[in-house]
């Protein structure tokens, strides 16, 4: 599809000049000494770039924008990596990025990424990882997994992550209107008033008469509940003080809720994991091709004693630092992990400011690895790369496992994505549908809200009440697991078998990707037809003329194939910023 967006013109001419000089020097070196160049080597690649640039500048039908061409070449080189976290920023974009890092900004308060399932940069849209709690986005009803179709009436297709952040941020009190498609397929237009994003990261189950959080899920059984919404520089001290108070008050068990937590500082994830683990346990490893391996190991700074039973709750919106803590506690046998497979954001970026105001490069240079050695990061699927084979049980017509004549279980080999993220403990996979998540979040927002009344009503909680009335089947399962552990000394199974759940998850994800690609392709076709002044019903009557070329043989070949219309490229099978 042709790109009809106006070229982006920037004042940064130095980048174009320096790249042009470097490319010209490369051509001179090749001319002086052809033996330096190998087929497909870097000097020949520079030679190709220079020749193409020369021909385009000299012969293109309209005068090209040189700066836009240079920036396009740089961004195209980076996009070839198929990594949404490796980004080139111009000086202007870098200045905006620094505002975000310093926290001196206001926005909607949502963790966003470019859609990981769309490899075509021109079709790739913005996606919500999770809204930050108590943020304008959260309060307006923005949901984790929402695809942002438009920002203030402009499509996000092809929009860079920093462009999206720049559009979503703005002065406090101003408004931005976004159009989203929820995971159930429904579209909604939401107007959000920007605000300073200040979030209390450590939260309890409900509020008391003084409107302060209480951190007991079951005070009689001494079962604590702590929810962490993100990992920032204050989270460690706040969490340590909360845990110490619970321990002093006789805590016997803890539900540590990391659902919808988009992550944050590695240092915080390391320190918080250390609060649970005895010394000498691996928390996380950092490995990369060009950086030395680094292993984070627990010390003896226990805050939560080893005899306190711990359940970690995490889900598909738990990312980065959340995954580090979840993996460290579950894989070291310190906690039971109940929920669903985590998001899979395990890449480490290094920010390098370029000289002479040429901007900056945010470069993925390492991955996070769990204590087991598993890579947290979800890599894109390119052909067979990123896939692995597993054995799936064959079901008979009644939906029961089929058996061979000798009584053995029949299986079939299928391909699924290679492991990523963190999986729940065996038998503790508890999925929730989009509607169930929406109901649960609405119930939780009500409990979180500061109201002009004397606290929450006192209710005797049970797993059934949490599941049926509070609409939180994952928390209900965690509560049931803790009660079983306290009563019998062992963890009961409260969820599905992981192998079956992961297979189902893989199949569901594939269908969701196919549905989104189909919807986006149809939207793109409708837009093309609308620009041509053709309705969908008239589309079949349109005949596209053949291309006009100068070369006679090419023209003849084109005329011979004129009856075949040009096919529209369809998308095929790909994490976050917080505006």
Q: pLDDT by residue (tens digit) across 56-76?
A: 999 999 999 988 888 888 888
Comparing 96 with 19, which gets the higher pLDDT? 96
pLDDT in tens, 26-47: 443 434 344 444 445 677 778 8
pLDDT in tens, 364-412: 999 999 999 999 998 765 544 555 555 556 667 766 767 777 777 676 6
Question: Dihedral sign, CA of 363, 365, 371, 375?
Answer: positive
Cβ count within 10 A of residue 483: 18
Lowest mean pLDDT among 121-135, 202-216, 282-296, 562-576: 562-576
Q: What is the pLDDT of residue 452?
A: 41
pLDDT above 70 as % of the chain: 73
Query: What does the block give as tokens for 7?
Result: 């070229």
CB distance 201 to 208 below 8 Å: no
Mean pLDDT of 249-274: 95
pLDDT in tens, 455-495: 445 567 899 999 999 999 999 999 999 999 999 999 999 99
Q: What is the pLDDT of residue 523?
A: 80
Comparing 20 with 215, which gets the higher pLDDT? 215
> Maximum Cα–Cα distance for the chain, whole Å?
89
Q: Answer yes or no: is pLDDT of 359 > 90.
A: no
Q: What is the pLDDT of residue 37?
A: 41
Which residue shows structure tokens 């200040």? 198
pLDDT above 90 as % of the chain: 40
CB distance 404 to 412 below 8 Å: no
Cβ count within 10 A of residue 450: 9
pLDDT in tens, 135-175: 899 889 898 789 999 999 999 998 888 788 889 988 899 99
Average model confidence (pLDDT) for the chain? 79
Q: Answer yes or no: is pLDDT of 565 > 70.
A: no
Query: What does the block give as tokens for 377?
Result: 């990061």
Q: Is 231 exposed, middle or buried (0-12, 13-18, 19+ CB in 10 A)?
A: buried
Q: What is the pLDDT of residue 442?
A: 80
- Beta strand extents in 204-319 (DSSP E only): 206-207, 213-214, 216-218, 223-228, 253-257, 282-287, 294-297, 309-314
Comparing 513 with 7, which gets the higher pLDDT? 513
Q: Answer yes or no: is pLDDT of 259 > 90.
A: yes
Lowest mean pLDDT among 204-208, 295-299, 455-459, 506-510: 455-459
Q: What is the pLDDT of residue 129?
A: 75
Domains and their CATH numbers in the chain? 1-79 (no CATH), 81-198+548-579 (2.30.42.10), 202-346+366-379+419-495 (3.90.226.10), 380-417 (no CATH)
Q: What is the pLDDT of residue 575?
A: 35
Distance CA 528, CA 503 (A): 38
Q: What is the pLDDT of residue 500?
A: 67
CB distance 306 to 298 below 8 Å: no
Q: How many helices (H) and strands (E) does the chain have?
A: 14, 23
What angle in degrees, to the nearest 10, is found between the helix axes of 91-102 and 161-168? 60
Q: Answer yes or no: is pLDDT of 526 > 60.
A: yes
Mean pLDDT of 272-284: 97
Q: What is the CA radius of gyration of the chain?
A: 27
Highest mean pLDDT among 6-10, 92-96, 356-360, 557-561: 356-360
Q: Tell whether pTM > 0.85.
A: no
Q: What is the pLDDT of residue 254?
A: 98
Specify the pairing of strand 87-89 against strand 213-214: unpaired
Q: Answer yes or no: is pLDDT of 451 > 60.
A: no
Query: What does the block give as tokens for 162?
Result: 């920093």
pLDDT category at 513 given cuts 50, 70, 90 is low
pLDDT category at 115 given cuts 50, 70, 90 is confident
Distance CA 176, CA 157 (A): 18
- Beta strand extents in 354-485 (DSSP E only): 360-369, 387-393, 411-417
Q: Answer yes or no: is pLDDT of 361 > 80.
A: yes
Comparing 402 with 429, which gets the higher pLDDT? 429
């Amino acid at each position: 599809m042709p790109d009809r967006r106006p070229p982006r013109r920037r004042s940064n001419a130095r980048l174009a000049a320096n790249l042009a000089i470097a490319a010209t020097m490369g051509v001179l070196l090749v001319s002086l000494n052809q033996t330096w160049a190998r087929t497909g080597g870097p000097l020949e690649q520079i030679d190709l770039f220079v020749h193409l640039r020369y021909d385009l500048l000299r012969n293109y039908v309209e005068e090209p924008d040189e700066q836009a061409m240079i920036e396009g070449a740089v961004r195209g080189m980076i996009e070839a990596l198929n990594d949404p976290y490796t980004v080139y920023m111009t000086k202007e974009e870098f200045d905006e990025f620094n505002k975000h890092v310093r926290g001196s900004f206001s926005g909607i308060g949502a963790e966003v990424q470019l859609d990981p399932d769309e490899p075509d940069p021109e079709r790739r849209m913005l996606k919500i990882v999770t809204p930050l709690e108590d943020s304008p986005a959260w309060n307006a009803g923005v949901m984790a997994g929402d695809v942002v179709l438009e920002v203030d009436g402009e499509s996000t297709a092809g929009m860079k992550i920093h462009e999206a952040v720049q559009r979503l941020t703005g002065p406090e009190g101003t408004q931005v209107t976004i159009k989203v498609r929820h995971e159930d397929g429904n579209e909604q237009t939401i107007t959000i008033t920007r605000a300073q994003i200040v979030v209390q990261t450590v939260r309890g189950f409900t509020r008391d008469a003084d409107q302060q959080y209480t951190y007991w899920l079951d005070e009689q059984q001494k079962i604590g509940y702590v929810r962490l919404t993100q990992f920032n520089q204050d989270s460690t001290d706040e969490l340590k003080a909360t845990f110490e108070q619970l321990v002093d008050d006789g805590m016997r068990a803890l539900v540590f809720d990391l659902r919808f937590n988009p992550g944050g500082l590695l240092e915080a994830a390391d320190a918080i994991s250390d609060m649970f683990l005895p010394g000498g346990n691996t928390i996380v490893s950092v490995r990369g091709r060009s950086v030395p391996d680094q292993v984070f190991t627990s010390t003896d700074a226990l805050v939560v004693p080893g005899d306190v039973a711990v359940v970690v709750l995490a889900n598909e919106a738990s990312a980065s630092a959340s995954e580090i803590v979840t993996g460290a506690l579950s894989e070291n046998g310190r906690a039971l992990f109940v929920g669903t497979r985590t998001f899979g954001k395990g890449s480490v970026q290094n920010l390098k400011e370029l000289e002479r105001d040429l901007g900056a490069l945010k470069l993925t240079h390492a991955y996070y690895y769990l204590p087991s050695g598993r890579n947290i990061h979800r890599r894109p699927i390119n052909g067979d790369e990123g896939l692995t084979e597993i054995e799936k049980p064959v079901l008979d017509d009644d939906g029961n496992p089929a058996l061979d004549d000798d009584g053995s279980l029949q299986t079939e080999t299928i391909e699924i994505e290679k492991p990523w993220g963190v999986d729940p403990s065996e038998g503790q996979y508890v999925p929730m549908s989009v509607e169930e998540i929406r109901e649960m979040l609405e119930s939780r927002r009500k409990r979180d809200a500061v109201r002009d009344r004397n606290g929450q009503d006192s209710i005797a909680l049970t797993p059934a009440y949490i599941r049926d009335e509070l609409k939180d089947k994952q928390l209900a399962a965690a509560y049931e697991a803790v009660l079983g552990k306290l009563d019998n000394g062992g963890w009961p199974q409260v969820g599905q078998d992981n192998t079956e759940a992961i297979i189902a998850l893989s199949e569901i994800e594939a269908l969701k990707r196919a549905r989104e690609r189909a919807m986006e392709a149809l939207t793109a076709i409708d837009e093309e037809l609308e620009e041509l002044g053709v309705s969908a019903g008239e589309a079949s009557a349109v005949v596209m003329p053949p291309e006009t070329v100068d070369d006679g043989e090419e023209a003849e070949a084109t005329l011979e194939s004129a009856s075949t219309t040009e096919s529209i490229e369809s998308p095929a099978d790909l994490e976050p910023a917080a505006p």
